[in-house]
Amino acid sequence: MRLLTHNMLSSNIKGVTNGFPLRIEAEKVVEKQVDLNIDFLKNMFPKIEWKALVSASRTMGYAELPEEVEPSKLDSEEFLRKFHHALLELHLEEGALVCPETGRRFPVSKGIPNMLLHEDEV
Amino acid sequence: MKLKHLESLLGRLQQFSNPKVELEQYPTGPHIASRMLYTAENSFGDVSDKVVADFGCGCGTLGVAAALLGAEHVIGIDVDPESLELASLNAEELELDIDYIHCNIKNLGLRAEVVDTVVMNPPFGTKKKGADMDFLSVALKVASQAVYSLHKTSTRNHVKRAALQHLNASSAEVICELRYDLPQMYMFHKKREVDIAVDLWRFVPQSRI
Ligand SMILES: C[S@@+](CC[C@H](N)C(=O)[O-])C[C@H]1O[C@@H](n2cnc3c(N)ncnc32)[C@H](O)[C@@H]1O
């Protein structure tokens, strides 16, 4: 699972008001190379929850993203390459996603998070 | 990519080996899947460089077609783990990088705004009434640009009314009518396969701004 997916996924357990962002427990991270698409990144940037991406990428062992970004950064290819790497090239292969409110763990196996809810959670 | 080429690549995908009837697991064939995504891309520009989600991805055909047509990020979602495993293998076979999520569409927590386009062949509701409309309701909340979906032609008026009046669609158009081979276990007929008429729809969600 890429961090772009992580950036939109939340815990939807009944009663939870703030299920985003899911905390990551990383047991295995893999990298897969993707071609750089600058227009895509520029278009995506305003839709990204930046803090969630920064902390998710750190948990995955990548600490190059700055905490704060001024819009002018989008003209820097160096910055875009880092954003690209964090968003599209890092994959959580094994581990878990944890609901920030309840601590409920959603296991991730072979890159696939299991977000199925139990009967008493819906 | 030409339509013929897309269709032949999709023809190489593996389909459900033990379809679960209660989940309405019938494959979206290469003929329909290729036309669906080809139209979305070439008539509306809803695929290449976009974020595309495939709801009830099953063997993964629609998401794979989106990735082949240049979608930047594809997410396939299904409630059945065996389908997801098969879909992953299919993507790998074609060297495509697709994310999969194991989830019931009804309980999906996916933030609006990031996904541009949802593509889906929902359960038609022959086993669980209303299943297709549950999918459509969530799809119209998640997609920011368009939803492509298949529904039985016999439900056309109902789908249109529900989409426009209750599900937040600003437009709902039938793009074309197709023939769908439904395995006989879903029908009350004796023939082995029954071809039914289905509509390919394009829905546009209301802008949330
Ligand atoms: C008609 S099949 C879709 C076939 C798929 N497009 C393909 O290419 O093989 C419907 C799919 O929806 C899935 N499904 C049924 N109910 C679901 C639900 N509530 N949430 C998520 N997936 C569901 C089934 O497991 C099945 O794979």
Q: What is the CATH number of the domain that holds B177?
A: 3.40.50.150
Q: B73-78 and B51-55 as β-strands: parallel, antiparallel, unpaired?
A: parallel
Is the Cβ pair A117, B107 closer than 8 Å? yes
- Ligand 1 in contact with B123 (CB < 6 A)? yes
Q: Which of residues 62-81 of A touch B (CB under 8 A)?
A: none
Mean local confidence (pLDDT), B106-114: 95
Say yes or no to pLDDT of B84 above 60: yes
Mean local confidence (pLDDT), A66-85: 95
Question: Contact, B66 vs B37, CB < 8 A?
Answer: yes
Predicted pLDDT of residue B191:
61
In this complex, the residue of A7, A10, A32 whose CB is nearest that of residue B97 is A32
Name the residue type at position A69: V
Q: What is the pLDDT of residues B57-77, one digit of tens each?
A: 999 999 999 999 999 999 999
Name the residue type at position A31: E
Predicted pLDDT of residue B182:
81
Instruction: Give buried/exposed letters for B65-79 (b at 16+ CB in 10 A, else e).
Output: bbbbbebbbbbbbbb
Element (H, E) at B89: helix B81-93
Is the Cβ pair B107, A115 closer than 8 Å? yes
Roughly what angle, to the nearest 10 degrees, separates helices B156-166 and B131-142? 40
Is the Cβ pair A44, B49 closer than 8 Å? no
DSSP helix/strand/coil, B185: helix
- Ligand 1 in contact with B62 (CB < 6 A)? yes
Secondary structure (DSSP) of A51-115: HHHHHHHHHTT---S-SS--GGGGG-HHHHHHHHIIIIIEEEEEEEEE-TTT--EEEEETTEEB-
Contacts of A9 (CB under 8 A, 6+ apart): A20, A22, A97, A113, A115, B101, B109, B110, B111
Name the domain count of chain B.
1
Say yes or no to pLDDT of B56 above 70: yes
Contacts of B108 (CB under 8 A, 6+ apart): A12, A115, B77, B101, B138, B142
Roughly what angle, to the nearest 10 degrees, separates helices B61-68 and B81-93? 30
- Chain A nearest-CA distance from B80, in A, is 10
Name the residue type at position A27: E
Question: Contact, B102 vs B84, CB < 8 A?
Answer: yes
Give the global pTM. Answer: 0.97
Predicted pLDDT of residue B194:
75
Name the residue type at position A62: Y
Mean local confidence (pLDDT), A46-71: 96
Say yes or no to pLDDT of A4 above 80: yes
Q: For residue B41, give its domain range.
A: 3-205
Predicted pLDDT of residue B142:
97
Predicted pLDDT of residue B209:
56
Predicted pLDDT of residue B192:
61
Predicted pLDDT of residue B28:
95
Predicted pLDDT of residue B188:
57
Mean local confidence (pLDDT), A73-94: 97
Burial (Cβ within 10 Å: 0-12, 13-18, ≥19) of residue B143: buried
Q: What is the pLDDT of residues B166-206, one digit of tens each?
A: 998 999 999 999 999 887 766 655 566 678 899 999 999 99
Could you tell me if B51 lies within 8 Å of chain A, comparing CB atoms? yes
- Ligand 1 in contact with B34 (CB < 6 A)? no
CATH fold of the domain at A3-117: N-terminal domain of TfIIb (2.20.25)
ipTM of the complex: 0.97
Question: Contact, B9 vs B31, CB < 8 A?
Answer: no
User: pLDDT band at B129, cuts 50/70/90?
Assistant: confident
Between the CA of A76 and the centroid of ligand 1 the distance, in Å, is 42
Query: Omega of the bond prior to A66 within 30 degrees of 0, cis?
Result: no
User: Where are any strands of DSSP class E within chain B?
Assistant: 51-55, 73-78, 99-102, 117-120, 146-152, 169-183, 193-205
Annotated domain spans of chain A: 3-117
